[in-house]
A = this chain, B = another copy of it.
Amino acid sequence: MKTYTEYLTIHTSELREIRAITEDVKAALKKCELTDGIVSVCALHANAAVTLGLNEPNFFADFWAWLDGLAPAREDYKLGRGFESNPATVLQSILAGAQTTLSFTEGRLDLGPWQELLYVEIDGQRPKRVALKFLGL
């Protein structure tokens, strides 16, 4: 059994932006030469998420509208100024999930035909990190 670690650094130009990172994970998988196991992908920030979805700009628009409906940025959160961002960014991270584990088999990620691993930046315009940890044979 071997492990392999990689940290992606993502610096979005927009405050909020979705970026498919499937290809980054595939590239790391190729580099580490593991062929069978799992990879944990985790956003190292309380206001970012890693989830499975579609890599389609129109879907991103639908996603943001939906997320803002369920966890709107408001001024009356109790957390207030104790946190650098609006607390809604953390609720949105919890809703979408900060962490996803994928398996890989014969050197390929186990993903469906439309499925993409999405990094969801909820408070960007600065470097943010995503931890990739591979375990396998």
Binding site for B on A (CB under 8 A): 1, 3, 5, 36-38, 40, 42-46, 51-54, 56, 58-59, 61-63, 66, 70-71, 77-80, 82-83, 87, 90-91, 93-103, 105, 110-112, 114-115, 129, 131, 133, 135-137
- Knowing A78-B58, A79-B54, A102-B42 touch, does A110 contact B133 (C-beta < 8 A)? yes
Q: List 18 A-B contacts (CB under 8 A).
A: A1-B1, A1-B135, A5-B103, A38-B135, A44-B110, A52-B94, A53-B90, A53-B93, A56-B82, A59-B90, A62-B77, A83-B114, A94-B96, A95-B95, A105-B131, A110-B133, A112-B129, A135-B135
A13 to nearest B CB, angstroms? 21
A46, B36: Cβ atoms closer than 8 Å: no
Chain B residues with CB under 8 A of A37: 3, 133, 135
Measured in the bound complex, the distance between the Cα atoms of B113 and A45 in whole Å is 7
A95 to chain B: closest residue by CB = B95
Chain B residues with CB under 8 A of A40: 38, 101-103
Chain B residues with CB under 8 A of A63: 91, 94
B3, A94: Cβ atoms closer than 8 Å: no
Chain B residues with CB under 8 A of A103: 5, 40, 42, 131, 133
